[in-house]
């Protein structure tokens, strides 16, 4: 590949010059690693902040469904995506867009050329709608991104738009595991405490219906046979799934003497996203923490599918209700080509 889609300060290995290296992103002072099984972000021991005590940070707003797809479903889905043209995008990525044309600066939406989501998404939506948290999820935009280490693919820290796009950002990760990095640029204080306290609190609250932390194992719903039969055939309806749901509120126990407060700008959370998994960002993880994929964390080709729903302004009773209704009607017709 000899061309790229980089603009402004963004760059990739295709357009960079050896004498003008890409400036390094700032590194946070304290690094936490998100633990899928505990639903906590845990700091390494031996740092200046943690010392001999392993500290943990409650990180609300992350929903992870590991093994959302089987290996055969993943392979078939990637083959179907590769049948459509990949277009150059920023920072070494390539993309396929299915959704309205949007000018976020001027807050304008144009539905011309948008005829619906791709047919391959229909069985995926059917499966994710089987769980209560996503039962009412109706996306109007679907974006496919390709990351490749040979191009130095990455995405800089950012918050997704909240004018048009709603509360939940849903991503399906394919082909390789990647690590997301969450950071903040503000000085608001975040509280961390010894890991043992966080684990004990999680255990003590696990029987409460309002706890917000759920870990279950059940049968994966079979994919609908609408859209792509090869994926439906690959699922026998009895595959195990793992759903790990982190607290969705900022509520934490009263501070103890062992609690530490750190400036948010000095903290980063590293979240491994396994291949074939589904992740939902909402709440603080969606609106407060910038998320990024660093170049050094892309070790193999990676595809991802991100679904976005409408914000309240485009839903019934909102100021842009009519525009939202028009988009929702288009979504009902599944198409077979990205928006040009």
Dump pLDDT digits (tens) for 89-140: 989 999 999 989 999 999 999 887 788 888 899 899 999 998 888 999 999 9
Write the DSSP assignment of 123-134 as a string of letters.
HHHHHHTTSGGG
Taking alpha carbons only, the member of 209, 211, 213 closest to residue 246 is 213
Q: So what's the pLDDT on residue 24?
A: 62
Contact 170, 306 (CB under 8 A): yes
Q: So what's the pLDDT on residue 173?
A: 98
CB neighbour class for 206 (10 Å; exposed up to 12, middle 13-18, buried from 19): exposed
Q: So what's the pLDDT on residue 145?
A: 97
- CB burial of 77-101 (b: ≥16 within 10 Å; e: otherwise) equals beebbeeeebebbbbbbbebbbbbe
Q: So what's the pLDDT on residue 204?
A: 43
Q: So what's the pLDDT on residue 139?
A: 95
Q: So what's the pLDDT on residue 219?
A: 41
Q: Kindly state the tokens that stand for 324.
A: 């939202």
Contact 65, 278 (CB under 8 A): yes
The pTM of this model reads 0.83
Q: So what's the pLDDT on residue 298?
A: 96
In CATH, which superfamily holds the domain spanning 30-331?
Answer: Alpha-ketoglutarate-dependent dioxygenase AlkB-like (2.60.120.590)
Write the DSSP assignment of 193-259 as a string of letters.
EEHHHHHHHHHHHTT-TT---EEEEEEPPPPPSSS-HHHHHH--S--EEEEEE--SS---PPP-TT-
Q: For the chain, list residues with pLDDT below 70.
A: 1-2, 17-28, 44-53, 199-257, 336-340
User: Which neighbouring-strand residues pair with 261?
Assistant: 191
Q: So what's the pLDDT on residue 186?
A: 86
Calpha distance 211→26 (Å, rounded): 35
Q: Where are the domains of the chain?
A: 30-331
């Amino acid at each position: 590949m000899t061309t790229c889609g980089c603009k402004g300060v963004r760059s990739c290995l295709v357009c960079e010059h050896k004498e003008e290296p890409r400036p390094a992103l700032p590194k946070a002072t304290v690094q936490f690693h998100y633990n899928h099984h505990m639903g906590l972000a845990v700091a390494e021991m031996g740092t200046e902040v943690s010392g001999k005590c392993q500290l943990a940070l409650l990180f609300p707003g992350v929903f992870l469904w590991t093994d959302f797809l089987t290996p055969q479903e993943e392979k078939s889905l990637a083959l179907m995506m590769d049948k459509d043209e990949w277009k150059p995008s920023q920072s070494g990525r390539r993309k396929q867009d299915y959704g309205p044309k949007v000018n976020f600066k001027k807050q304008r939406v144009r539905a011309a050329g948008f005829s619906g989501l791709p047919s391959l998404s229909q069985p995926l939506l059917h499966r994710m709608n089987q769980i209560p948290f996503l039962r009412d999820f109706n996306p109007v935009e679907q974006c496919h991104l390709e990351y490749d280490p040979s191009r130095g693919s990455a995405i800089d820290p950012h918050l997704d738009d909240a004018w048009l796009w709603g509360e939940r950002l849903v991503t399906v990760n394919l082909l390789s595991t990647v690590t997301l990095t969450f950071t903040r640029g503000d000085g608001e204080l975040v509280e961390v405490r010894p890991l043992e306290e966080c684990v004990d609190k999680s255990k003590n609250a696990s029987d409460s219906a309002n706890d917000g932390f759920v870990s279950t194992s059940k049968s994966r719903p079979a994919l609908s046979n609408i859209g792509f039969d090869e994926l439906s055939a690959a699922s026998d309806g009895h595959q195990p799934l793992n759903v790990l749901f982190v607290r969705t509120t900022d509520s934490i126990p009263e501070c103890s003497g062992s609690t530490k407060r750190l400036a948010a700008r000095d903290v980063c959370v590293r979240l491994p996203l396994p291949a074939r998994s589904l992740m939902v960002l909402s709440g603080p993880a969606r609106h407060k923490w910038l998320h990024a994929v660093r170049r050094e964390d892309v070790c193999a080709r990676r595809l991802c599918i991100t679904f976005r729903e409408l914000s309240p302004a485009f839903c019934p009773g909102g100021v842009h209700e009519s525009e939202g209704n028009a988009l929702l009607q288009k979504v009902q017709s599944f198409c077979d080509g990205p928006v040009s």
